[in-house]
Amino acid sequence: MPITEILQKNATLYGNDVALVEINPQELEKHHTNWREYSLIEGSNIDSFRSEMTWAEFDQKANRFANFLLTRGMPKGAKVGILLMNCLEWLPIYFGVLKSGCMAVPLNFRYTSDEIKYCLDLADVEMLVFGPEFIGRIESICTQIPKVRALLYVGEDCPSFAEPYYKLVSYCSEKAPDIPLTDEDNAAIYFSSGTTGFPKAIIHPHRSLMHSCKVEQNHHGQTRDDVFLCIPPLYHTGAKMHWFGSFLVGGKAVLLKGIKPEWIIRTVSEEQCTIVWLLVPWAQDILDAIDRGEIELSNYKLDQWRLMHIGAQPVPPSLIKRWKQVFPHHDYDTNYGLSESIGPGAVHLGIENIDHVGAIGVAGYGWQTKIVDEKHQPVKRGEVGELAIKGDGVMKGYYKDEKATKEVLQDGWLFTGDMAKESEDGFIYLVDRKKDVIITGGENLYPVQIEDFLRKNDHIKDVAVIGLPDKRLGEIAAAVIEVKQGHTLTEQEVNDFCMDLPRYQRPRKIIFAEVPRNPTGKIEKPKLRKIYGADQLVAQQNEIN
């Protein structure tokens, strides 16, 4: 069934229950106070940085926007862009688009104006909803996007080139529009992360979204009493698709606008969150803050927190070992997926398999997996090959890119571009991105393996291993290392630490710098290669001269 029917069901059964909560600690900092100080002020009103919405309100707001789109003559299948920071209006707007029969097109809030224009053009977006953070970027391109026939502004003081969202939808009916939807109707276009070039537009039908709901709820057993803490950006599949497991059974979501460790722990405590999905850097920051004494866990109510899970990137086993030492009662899971497979859950570790930390796991609920060679033939267990997945969550294809679609979709199988191997007991281990493999002197190096080793060093906060050109070996492995706050590390100390690695895996170059990650936690290796690859080529040329 279409995913919109779940929202209607929740509104009918649990109309007065809270569905969504928004927490914005940054509002407090604008007034030069912190969360704890504010809560101690007599007569303080927590609603100044906390707002909520019931299931009935959620459904009504979605219906209003759906009906507005219909009054503007938006036909079934028309594309509506969403360019908003995480906020209480985000999900009602998203579901309003789906209820109208249109396709939601969420946009990365880090996009520059040129990238926004590129994506709007690529996806044939006819209407764009945007927030105050993007006024400058939209104004600079508003005369260059002729396909977009309406710009809707969500906020106060609407700019002259846009129309006021709140005013326009307030005149529309709260009743659900009579738009027939099927599982195979297109629901959304998501953009690939763009870590390997320009993003591609990924088409997902309602079937994909519903599959995500079922997968997540099957994996983690959400009930209506669970409270899901959502921190990652909602434009990405990973964030809301994890909440979809709670959404399926009427569970609440808390949207936290900020990633400071103290904000996360305090939100878990005060909102009584039971499920938290973290990116690797955020989990590391929480543990480091606890180690430094900046967070005293006894000051918080955390007994209800039952599940911590991580996805979007390889997870260092050393991190989970540290986490379980601090939070021994937590269930842990890691999830693997792509935007092309509606985000998380195509492969997952499983909370019962904590002894296999380091693996991404086994095929998720309703999914099939295989590992293949360059001819797409299965490899033997233990051999490295490309991971392929199959299930109802696989995309229909790339919008307006038949060639790219055929390259990755064959007979229902999605070829992920990720290199992996399967252990004798059937667990899949991610080795690296196919495009990130380093070939040095004829040997294949998998950066993730070297990164996992280096993260065992207590002085290292984050690390990225990239290939740099070398006139003798073709490529060499370079480690870009971000040192923990308050710690020091030298190149010699890193080299000494790496003596336990096989010689061919030891990084030939050490660079101390910040490791850039995109909003979903993936290391931006093309950016690093661009920065340091050029330097390496210049150095080589100088040597030749």
Domain match, 429 and 442 both? no
> If you ran DSSP here, which 8-state letter would residue 113 be given?
H
d(CA 488, CA 483): 7
Beta bridge pairs of residue 171: none
| β-strand pairing of 460-470 with 18-23 | unpaired
Same domain, 50 and 158: yes
The token pair at 425 is 């007991």
- What are the residues whose beta carbons fall under 8 Å from the beta carbon of 79, sequence distance 6 or more? 102, 103, 105, 123, 124, 125, 126, 127, 189
- What was the pLDDT predicted at 178? 94
Q: Which domain holds residue 421?
A: 363-433
**291: number of Cβ within 10 Å:** 13
Q: Which residues does 26 contact at the CB level (< 8 Å), separation at least 6?
A: 49, 257, 258
Listed in sequence order, the residues at least 6 apart from 519 whose beta carbon sits closer than 8 Å to its beta carbon are 108, 109, 110, 232, 233, 236
**Are 194 and 268 part of one and the same domain?**
yes
How many CA atoms are closer than 13 Å to the CA of 377, on its beta-carbon side?
A: 2
The answer to whether the predicted template modeling score (pTM) of the entire model surpasses 0.75 is yes
Q: Are residues 380 and 480 in the same domain?
A: no
Decide which of 309, 324, 354 is a domain's last residue. Answer: 354
Strands 150-153 and 125-130: parallel
Report strand pairing: 79-83 vs 103-106. Answer: parallel
Dig out the tokens for 420 from the structure. 């992996």
Mean pLDDT by 10 residues, the chain (545 residues): 95 97 80 53 58 97 98 97 96 98 94 91 97 96 96 96 96 96 96 67 96 94 95 86 94 94 95 92 90 94 94 76 94 90 88 90 95 93 94 95 94 91 92 74 75 89 88 81 92 93 86 83 80 55 38
Q: How crowded is residue 403: how many other Cβ atoms within 10 Å of its Cβ? A: 7
Query: What is the pLDDT at residue 452?
Result: 84
| pLDDT for 39 | 52
Last residue of a domain, one of 328, 354, 380: 354
Diameter of the chain measured on Cα atoms: 76
DSSP designation for 354: G
Which CATH number goes with the domain that contains 385?
2.30.38.10
Query: Are residues 463 and 419 part of one domain?
Result: no
Residues 462 and 402 placed together within one structural domain of the fold: no
Domain CATH for 42: 3.40.50.12780
* Contact indicator for 64, 173 with CB cutoff of 8 Å: yes
CATH number, domain at 469? 3.30.300.30
Residues 330 and 377 reside in one and the same domain: no
335 with 447, same domain: the answer is no
Residue with tokens 């380093």: 438
Q: Structural domain tally of the chain?
A: 3
* CB environment 236-262: b (16+ within 10 A), e (fewer): bbbbbbbbbbbbbbbbbbbbbbeebbb
Looking at the DSSP bridge assignments, the partners of residue 308 are: 276, 332
Q: Do 413 and 450 have their domain in common?
A: no
| Domain shared by 328 and 473, yes or no | no
For residue 59, the SS3 value is helix
Asked whether residue 319 falls in the same domain as residue 373, the answer is no
Q: How many CB atoms lie within 10 A of CB 390?
A: 19
| Residue at a domain's end among 335, 354, 373 | 354
On whether both 427 and 449 belong to a single domain, the answer is no
